[in-house]
Amino acid sequence: MIEKSIRKLICYGKEAGLFPVRDEVFVTNLLLEALCLDGIECDEEFAGVDLKETLDEILDYAVERGIIDDGITARDLFDTKLMGLMMPRPSEVTDRFYELYESSEKEATDYFYKLSCDSNYIRRDRIKRDLKWKAQTDFGELDITINLSKPEKDPKAIAAAKNAPQSGYPKCLLCRECEGYAGRINFPARQNHRVIPVRINDSDWFFQYSPYVYYNEHCIVFNGRHTPMAINRDAFVKLFDFVKLFPHYFVGSNADLPIVGGSILSHDHFQGGHYTFPMERAKVIKEVSFAGFEDVSAGIVNWPMSVIRLSGKSTERIVDLADKILLSWRKYTDKEAFIFAETDGVPHNTITPIARKRGENFELDLVLRNNITTEEHPLGVYHPHANLHHIKKENIGLIEVMGLAVLPARLKDEMAALKAALLSGADIRADEALAKHADWADELKEKYTFTEENTDGILKKEIGAVFCKVLSDAGVYKRTKEGEEALMRFISQV
């Protein structure tokens, strides 16, 4: 049985192009060594191999023989090792990428994305579990996803990680040193991981795909040095340099301050991909102008958050204006609008920038952010407020800013239970898991008559409406007459 499974994996690797036929014997011997086997008799050819099924067969064997412990973490570490044994060297991947790049940027990224999927670095079987839908709002369709692709830590792994020796290598999940790393109980294996070197703003950066692909070809562009996130003029230049290299991709950066930034502020990086986000589809509703930059089109975007869109043929001119806006925003205070540049020397104002090419023009969206906290809003004034935490409590980073809600896995079971409670008339407040949704459910019961046929659709629609409110909470200026006047006060003084 194990010989057949190994043979299936080898045939998968050949068919996927992970290695050439010339290397088949070599790869076979590497796999035999990893599984503590001396030889293999099976030479059958298999086509259309189911990778997950085949890896599960091999992992079950490894557990039975005591090669690995059972549990998600140990199995993930080992199947990544097996896939890594079939992978081309990083230099081969880079050479092939840039060979294709000479003909077409898209051919190059298509190759690299396919490799990242075929290698099981992007675990397609897990990505398929994510629940996704679109919700119509006053700002157009928003993308909603309940993230189910990140594996839960098993109890054995949690206990082992607590007692595992601490290591500072790699320094973080975005460091170049992750490429080929074997992993450990508290750090994922990356033997099947490859990165592509790119040169932006005359500095060494690297390009990879996210293993969780929240959207099509979700990529990460990271600094070759482990250096903190920074939103400044150089960041704008880097964003446009990447777009010039890959004009079919957008690229953006999380803000560089806690609460309004991403989950990793310690390593400078961007996120991009081949996807049109809702915010990109949103139109400019009010054109504005900046003295000395009449050649750059500018306007306020029809979006729940405060977004200034710059557009033009010259990226240098867009960068000059973006830098002027950023520097003005960093030091801007408007007490009437509760915007404070700093309190007690702690800075609050920053920007989430997103760059793209649209037709012949380059665009840069500048989303104004502020991370001030108060006793009433200890997680942030411009952060999802407490009444929305039953759906979304986490920070609003780049992906959410652009209109894609990444919601916690707990909502899958909670929404199923809430549906049952709405249909049966059960006491939602008496249910410990559902009580957090009770006020929201009361509002929904006033709006709708629930049936077996319509409840799923209503909940999806209303989750979209909550996400729209989440974005509004994260916006520094509200979409009201007073909010628009306050935004124009800032723009007028730039």
| HEC secondary structure over 151-192 | CCCCHHHHHHHHHCCCCCCCCCCCCHHHCCCCCECCECCCCC
Amino acid identity at 314: S
* Tokens read off for 210: 């996210």
Q: Is residue 405 within a helix (H) or strand (E), and if so which, with residue range?
A: strand 404-407
pTM of the model: 0.94
Q: Are 323 and 231 in contact (CB under 8 A)?
A: no
* Tokens read off for 486: 């306050």
Question: Which segments of 314-370 are extended strands (E)?
Answer: 342-343, 346-347, 349-358, 361-370
Task: Say if residue 162 is exposed, middle or buried (CB neighbours under 10 Å; 0-12, 13-18, 19+).
Answer: exposed
pLDDT at 167: 74
* Tokens read off for 228: 């903190």
Distance (Å, rounded) from C-alpha 186 to C-alpha 318? Answer: 43
Distance (Å, rounded) from C-alpha 340 to C-alpha 290? Answer: 23
Cβ neighbours, 10 Å, residue 45? 10
* Tokens read off for 451: 């049936």
Q: Are 477 and 296 in contact (CB under 8 A)?
A: no
- Please give the order of strands across the beta sheet that includes 131-137: 131-137, 140-146, 404-407
- Residues with Cβ within 8 Å of 158's Cβ and at least 6 positions away in sequence, in order, are none
| Angle at alpha carbon of residue 463, lines to 459 and 467, rounded to 5° | 170
pLDDT at 157: 56
Distance (Å, rounded) from C-alpha 165 to C-alpha 130? Answer: 34
pLDDT at 164: 62
* Tokens read off for 468: 């729209």
pLDDT at 160: 59
pLDDT at 155: 54
| Consecutive 10-residue averages of pLDDT for the chain (494 residues) | 97 98 98 97 96 98 97 95 98 98 98 98 95 96 92 56 71 96 95 98 98 96 96 98 98 96 90 98 97 97 98 98 98 98 97 98 98 95 96 95 96 97 96 96 97 98 98 96 97 97
Per-position b or e across 260-278, b if 16+ CB within 10 A of its CB: bbbebbebbbbbbbbbebb
Distance (Å, rounded) from C-alpha 2 to C-alpha 62? Answer: 10
For the residues of 292-315, what is the DSSP string, one character each? T-TTSEEEEESSSS-EEEEEES-H
Going by DSSP bridges, is the β-strand pair 284-288/250-252 parallel, antiparallel, or unpaired?
unpaired
pLDDT at 343: 96
Q: Print the SS3 string covering 4-58.
A: HHHHHHHHHHHHHCCCCHHHHHHHHHHHHHHCCCCCCCCCCCCCCCCHHHHHHHH
Amino acid identity at 486: A
Q: How many residues does the chain have?
A: 494
